[in-house]
Chains A and B, each alone.
Chain A
Amino acid sequence: MQFKRLFAVGAIQSAIICALPALFAPMANAASLTGTITTENGAPVMGAMLTVFNEAGNRKETVYTGADGSYAIHTDFGGKLNVRARLANFEDTTTTVQLAADQVSTVNLTVKHFASAQARSDALTASAHTAKLPWASAEQRTPFVSQCNYCHQVGNALTRSARSEDAWTQTLDRMQGYFAMLSKGEAKTFANVLARGFDGKPVDTVLDYGVTPELTHAKVEQWLVGDAMTFIHDTDVGEDQKLYGTDEGHDVVWVLDRKTGKIDSYPEPDINLPAGGMFAGMTLPIGIFTGKHGPHSMAQGKDGRIWITNALSSTLASFDPATKAFKLYPVPGDVLYPHTIRMDQDGIVWFTNVVSNQVARFDPKTEKFTVIRLPSNGLVRWVTDMLLPTIMHVANWFPHKNLPLDISTHKFLGHDVLNFPYGIDVDPKDGSIWYAKLYVNKIGRIDPKTLQVTEYDTPMKGPRRPRFDRNGILWIPAFDESGLMRFDPERKTFESYKLPVLADGEYEVPYALNVHPVTGDIWITANASDRILRFIPSTKRFISYPSPTRVTVLRDLVFTKDGRVCNSTSNLPAYGTEDGLDSFMCFDPDGGDKDKAAILAAKGK
């Protein structure tokens, strides 16, 4: 009996040891780095980022140091590798190591204080720089947060260069051609504040990431993709566990096989539209939106096809991951900018149409669309919603002249003249469809059978991309107010939470969130400060994970079966990011621990 038990335990241990190489199969030639990161006076630092770049410079992996300053990273990179230690408020330290397969090397690094105030300021997050903008009031800042952080960070190295008020006016004019909805008065105020605030003088702020023990267990992986003009709007994980990214700038779908690191791209079929599609009358981000379709958001159906909203061509596309074949479905009516897409339990495709204030329903079996016009919320918005598709259509007769800016009512009233139904999700309890209206601060419910619509005011401004948890609670990021909202559809009650910021006066711009299907934790993008946040509902606690990449702007978050939280870095433009390219990025909350276990197992062998 005793022998049998011992045999059983031994067998299990052997199985684990034998299984470990299989667990890390892609790391067949895996090497490891261990060591410590300390400050100049030898003090160990917790939460410092140790990043290893592969030899080609198109992949990087990052772990965080523990309380004793130690780190351990297991990687399949080999050759001459760059290694970097990064800690908030300290200067980066880099070194190069030659790493052979199966080699374990020790690299100890020291981070030093910055040599100058300017160098220290240059390393700060965008949030630290925008916090210094001299707004007369919080109300004055709100439309700036909404409109100027809409697609990209403001306050990073690319966007905070010192300019005159006239130069800022020209920049803001250009941004309006990219669909920033500024009234004339707002544009004038913004130009003045930006000219005074971004004066090139160093900013003196100490960033506090609120390092928690959870950070020391995590690992971040990045795969750089495309070129400097790539714009991977959303990432989805397929049933095959590959990552799919829609490149709105180039009309392609990128596919990453995380096991092999291989990245492929598949172009969408051509369409009889000019570059810019239905938005050819606007200037659009020239050199970035060179496509006609503008693939935006994705959802995979039960038959394996991935459904894609084509924002610029107002079409729905299906992509078959097996055959790599696309099929296009023009959305009928005056639909503009098909946006976030989700599948319901019956395999029906639902998506918002941002600019034309609609939600569309598509049945893949019958290939029939139903377009639902959402409540207008006032006469001015009704006029704007009804006229905007026509104005865009007329503008297309005069390409790239920005004609809509010469007629749109937003020039008088700002972005408040529109509804902008943005994110959408399906209630797992009753199958109802819920959407968030970004500009009118409402969420709405669509009965999937009757298509009856009911809207509710949100307590915080800027509801953007909401998601349901498995209990039927809707979690909503409040983009304009650095917040997180919890909505109970049964009780019709809200709870609001302020997101943690890195220093006084900062704001956060949570673009999207997702709820982990197993833990129920809420993962939130924090795009002003290069972080991803994790909210634990049971304890109402936030955990902050700093990104190893400066200018990290994340959008939809997805979960892989192996426990990773993945997304794409998609700042506009890609060349504004620290790496100069977009990337697929995966956070593994337990990835650091997995690496430590793998290194131990390797040593045991």
Chain B
Amino acid sequence: MNERIRPTQAAIYAALLTISAVVMIYMGTYASAYYAPSVCLLLEAVLLWCGIARKLFERVLQLNQLTGIVLILTLWLGDALHLPKLDIAGVMLIGNMVSGGPLMAALAIPLLASFHFGKTLPDWFQSRGV
């Protein structure tokens, strides 16, 4: 791996993902379910640091956003929409936790925006040839 060609943006986001993973590991020492998002956050940090598996990296971010948004909408509007609220919310909650949880949700927004509107991160993954 060539440190000099890794963009600062990738390094910063990888660091933030790692810090988030550490926070989740700490929370996991209190309530073990939080180990699940920490594993995902670490995986994403590694993928970004190495610039590999862009599709997987992006899909995880998208899954996190999708499950988070559906979870909030279901909890908020589920009664009014006569949805099987708790079943949907339950699946979304599990999906959100395994795809990085709330801290991933916060980081996923700028990360996905970078992929969509910027070139730095796409070029970084492309330069790694994956």
Contacts and interface: CB of A to CB of B under 8 A. Distances in A.
Interface of A: 183-184, 332-334, 371, 386-387, 389-391, 393-394, 397, 403, 405-409, 411-412
B31 A405 contact: yes
Nearest to B97: A407
Given A332-B79, A390-B75, A406 B31 contact: yes
B33 A407 contact: yes
A598 to B, nearest CB: 59
A394 B85 contact: no
Contacts of A407: 31, 33-34, 97
Given A332-B79, A386-B75, A184 B89 contact: no
A152 B97 CA distance: 36
Nearest to B29: A184
B32 A390 contact: no
A390 B86 contact: yes
Contact of B93 (A183, A394, A408, A412): A394
Contacts of A390: 71, 75, 86, 89-90, 93
A393 B89 contact: yes
B86 A389 contact: yes
26 contacts: A183-B30, A184-B29, A333-B85, A334-B78, A334-B85, A334-B86, A386-B76, A387-B93, A390-B75, A390-B86, A390-B90, A393-B87, A393-B89, A393-B90, A394-B93, A406-B31, A406-B32, A406-B33, A407-B31, A407-B97, A408-B31, A409-B31, A411-B31, A412-B27, A412-B30, A412-B31
Interface string B1-43: 0000000000000000000000000010111111000000000
A111 to B, nearest CB: 52
B94 interface: yes
Contacts of A333: 79, 85
A391 B79 contact: no
Nearest to B32: A406
Interface residues of B, number: 20
Contacts of A332: 79
A321 B83 CA distance: 37
A185 to B, nearest CB: 9
Contacts of A371: 79
A405 B75 CA distance: 21
A509 B79 CA distance: 37
A243 B98 CA distance: 52
Contacts of A405: 31
A391 B79 CA distance: 17
Interface string B54-86: 000000000000000001000110110000011
A369 to B, nearest CB: 11
Nearest to B102: A383
A379 to B, nearest CB: 12
Kindly list the 4 A-B residue pairs having the minimum CB-CB distance in the complex, ordered from nearest: A393-B86, A407-B33, A390-B89, A411-B31
A387 B75 contact: yes
A261 to B, nearest CB: 45
B90 A397 contact: yes
A184 B30 contact: yes
Contacts of A391: 93
**Considering residues A390, A393, A408, which has the most beta carbons from chain B within 10 angstroms of its beta carbon?**
A390
Contacts of A409: 31
Most chain A CB inside 10 Å of its own CB: which residue of B29, B30, B87: B30
A272 to B, nearest CB: 15
Nearest to B79: A333
A408 B32 CA distance: 10
A86 to B, nearest CB: 46
B109 to A, nearest CB: 18
Contacts of B89: 390, 393
Contacts of A386: 75-76
Interface string B84-106: 01110110011001000000000
A389 B84 CA distance: 13
Most buried by A among B29, B89, B94: B89
Contact of B30 (A397, A403, A411): A411
A409 B30 CA distance: 9
B115 to A, nearest CB: 29
A397 B29 CA distance: 24
Contacts of B87: 393
Nearest to B28: A406
Contacts of B33: 403, 406-407
A394 B32 CA distance: 16
Contacts of A412: 27, 30-31
A515 B84 CA distance: 43
B90 A394 contact: yes
B125 to A, nearest CB: 33
A371 B80 CA distance: 12
Contacts of A183: 30
B69 to A, nearest CB: 14
B44 to A, nearest CB: 21
A577 B125 CA distance: 69
Contacts of B34: 407
A408 B29 CA distance: 13
A376 to B, nearest CB: 12
B79 A334 contact: yes
Contacts of A387: 75, 93
Nearest to A393: B86
A386 B78 CA distance: 11
B40 to A, nearest CB: 15
B101 to A, nearest CB: 10
Nearest to A333: B79
A408 B90 CA distance: 14
B79 A394 contact: no
Given A183-B30, A394-B94, A408-B31, 8 more contacts: A334-B78, A387-B75, A387-B93, A389-B86, A390-B71, A390-B90, A406-B33, A407-B97
A499 B93 CA distance: 45
Nearest to B94: A394
Nearest to A406: B33
